[in-house]
Every structure is written in C-alpha cells, then in structure tokens.
Amino acid sequence: MPLPVVGMLSSYGGLTQCDWLWKQTPQPFGVWGNMQLHAPDPQPDYLLLYQFNFHERFAPPRRSKIQRLRDVLSLAKPKTTNAIDKLPPQLSQVPKEHTAFLLREPPLPEVRYQNLLNYAYARDYCGYVSGPDDSAPVPAYMPAIWYVNVSFRELNEAPPPEKHSPCSWITSGINRTESHRQRLAFLQQLQESDVPVEVYGRDLPPGTRTAGELSNKWSGMAPYTYNLAIENFADNNWYASEKLWDALLAWCLPIYYGGGAADKLLPPGSFLRLPSLDEKGIEYIREVTASPDAWIEAKDAIAEARQVILHKLNLMNWLSEWVGSKE
C-alpha cells in the first residue's frame, strides 16, 4: 500500500524541487516513517504550507496613478475574483484537516502585522496553524531543517571531523530590521578586534573581511571548533533556527545568541550562551576560542544534541507524527 504523500507550498523562492528536504531522511524519495514528502505533488494526500505568505496573495496589485484614474473614469464594472482563485489548486483539493500551516520567520516587530494576517488567512484553509510566536493560534517551536549538505547517514553515523581552526561565523548583510542592524554593528566591532573569527557570507557591508560565500555550510563549519550562531530574534521562548542546528550537526560548539527555546529543546552543555552583542560578548568569544577545552568538555553533549536534531526535531519527523495523528 503506498504511503500518503505530503505536498508543500512555500513563499520561499527555490523550494519547488521534488527532493526538498530529502537529505533529512536516510530513506529514498523523501520517505520518513509513515509518509513521503514530495513537495510539488499536484494531488497530495496532505499539504504543508511552509511560510506561505497569504497576505501577498490577497494584497491588491499595485497600480500607477494613471491606472487608478482610468479605473475611476471607466464605466466598466471591475472584475471580481473569489479568494480561492488567488491560491494554488492544492488548497481546494486537500481537506482542511489535512492541511498544516507553519510560519517560520521570526516574529520581529517590523513584520508583526503581516504575521497576524497570515495566521488569520491560514485559519480559513488549514486545520493546524502554528508559529514560533505567542500570537500564533498554536505557539510552537519550529521543526528543524538544516543547510549542511551532507547525507543523513553520514551525519548520523560518522565521527566528528578534524577541527583545524578556532571559530567561524556564517552571516549576511541583510539590514531590513533593527535586529539585523544590531548584528551588523556587532560584526563590525568583532572585525575591529583581533579575535580569530573567520566570516563567510553574502552581501556583507563594504570593507568586511570575509573568507567568501558558501554553497554548503558544512564547508564553513566542520573544520572549526566553535561557531557563532546569532539569531535574528532573541526575545521569546519559541524561536530557534537552523543557525543552531547547522553548527551542532557540523560538530561545532555553538556560541549562541538567541531566546530561551534552545534551553528547552537541547541537552544542557551542548551550546554556550553569548552574553551580549557588545564588547562584553567579544571578550567572551576571545576567552572561549583561545583553546579547544570548552569543545572537548562539551563533546558528549554535542553528540546527544545532534541525535535530538536528527531524529526528534527534524521537520520530516514532525510531518510523520502529524500524518500519523490523522490516520
């Protein structure tokens, strides 16, 4: 008997591949437990809306002043469309109780209104609506995805890679929010110090000393003993992202700046807390990265955390449990 298929819709660009997340299971073709993930399936049994931006679908198209004037002067009746006409056909084909909405972006003040809109729209079409946010219908931790492009079996079974350098940080130059700008200011402070942190990333500010961009985060993490994992949002007890999962799966000891979710999800001692994004934080990084002692002491906790990420927090496992609850 074939396994039920989970399709996926997302507003993230580039996530329409049939093998999206297949690296997060040891089985072929996206099989995990009692389901198969096939993101672009046109007629799935279940449907995951993963950061699907309803508010963008339903927003009126932007029109120039001339177009608006023509609308006013026109005697023609404007065309009307049903809301469902603006949505992908899978949403009308899959029962509401078999459709889940997971908001993944952090609940930053700058996007609070659009998040609330997405929750409101999602409740009309989805039997389960969740996000890492107290304002979500179901506040919950985000299931784990990761961007280290290594097979599940290797992550699960291989020993730690050799560590050649003290510390890395993979970041970007995004500056849309106050939280982003705070992180970039800390990056500048860190670069002005002599703390040995190698920076990788894209679109970084001019003058940033970087080791380049990466297509596979494993390359910029696995050879390093420590990794700076600095979240875009650190002000609630729900939000934790791949910044933490990637570092641990690469056998780094994360120096982590984020909210309280990590303490609830991961075993004690599997990461270090960066106290602040200022001189105090820089001195903490300097002290920790001066020797591999903290990593050596945390090695068993890192190994335990990796198993939690791979087998429990994994989005594939979340989907399998969700499907199982409906069968």
Q: Confirm whether 287 is domain-assigned.
A: yes
Is the pLDDT at 40 greater than 50? The verdict is yes
In a domain, residue 45? The reply is: yes
Q: Are residues 33 and 178 in the same domain?
A: no
Looking at the structure of the chain, the number of domains it has is: 2
251 in a structural domain: yes
The 10s digit of each residue's pLDDT in 175-218 is 988 999 999 999 999 999 989 999 999 999 999 999 999 999 99
Q: Do 244 and 304 belong to one domain?
A: yes
Q: What is the pLDDT of residue 62?
A: 59
Closest CA to 13 of 47, 52, 43: 52
Cα 135 to the center of its chain, rounded Å: 19
Q: Quick one: tokens of 77?
A: 């009746």
Same domain, 160 and 134: no
Decide if pLDDT at 309 tops 80.
Answer: yes
Integer Cα distance of 250 and 247 in angstroms: 5
Residue 305: the pLDDT is 98
Longest dimension (CA), the chain: 77
Does one domain contain both 105 and 219?
no
Q: Are residues 123 and 170 in the same domain?
A: no
Tokens 């999602």 identify what position?
Answer: 122
225 found inside a domain: yes
Given 83, 113, 140, the domain boundary residue is 140
Residues 114 and 168 in one domain: no
Q: What is the pLDDT of residue 57?
A: 84
Residues 71 and 95 occupy one common structural domain: yes
Q: What's the confidence (pLDDT) of residue 63? A: 54
Q: Is the pLDDT of residue 71 over 60?
A: no
The boundaries of the domain holding residue 231 are: 152-313
Examine the fold and report which residue of 140, 168, 191 is the final residue of a domain before the chain moves on.
140
Same domain, 262 and 298: yes
What pLDDT is recorded for position 75? Answer: 47
Q: How confident is the model at residue 78 (pLDDT cuts 50, 70, 90)?
A: very low
Q: 231 is written with which tokens?
A: 């979240």
Is there a single domain that holds both residue 157 and residue 134?
no
Statement to judge: residues 211 and 295 lie in one domain: yes
pLDDT at 77: 41
Which tops the pLDDT comparison, 107 or 84?
A: 107
Q: Which residue has the higher pLDDT, 78 or 321?
A: 321
Same domain, 156 and 301: yes
Residues 135 and 160 in one domain: no
224-259 residue pLDDT tens: 999 999 999 999 999 999 999 999 999 999 999 999
Q: What is the three-state SS of the chain?
A: CCCCEEEEEECCCCCCCCCCCHHHCCCHHHEECCEEECCCCCCCCEEEEECCCHHHHHCCCCCCHHHHHHHHHCCCCCCCCCHHHHCCCHHHHCCHHHEEEECCCCCCHHHHHHHHHHHHHHHHHCCEEEECCCCCCEECCCCECCCCCCCHHHHHHCCCCCCCEEEEEEEECCCCCHHHHHHHHHHHHHHHCCCCEEEEEECCCCCCCCCCCCCCHHHHCCCEEEEEEECCCCCCCCCCCHHHHHHHHCCCEEEEECCCHHHHHCCCCCCEECCCCCHHHHHHHHHHHCCCHHHHHHHHHHHHHHHHHHHHHEHHHHHHHHHHCCC
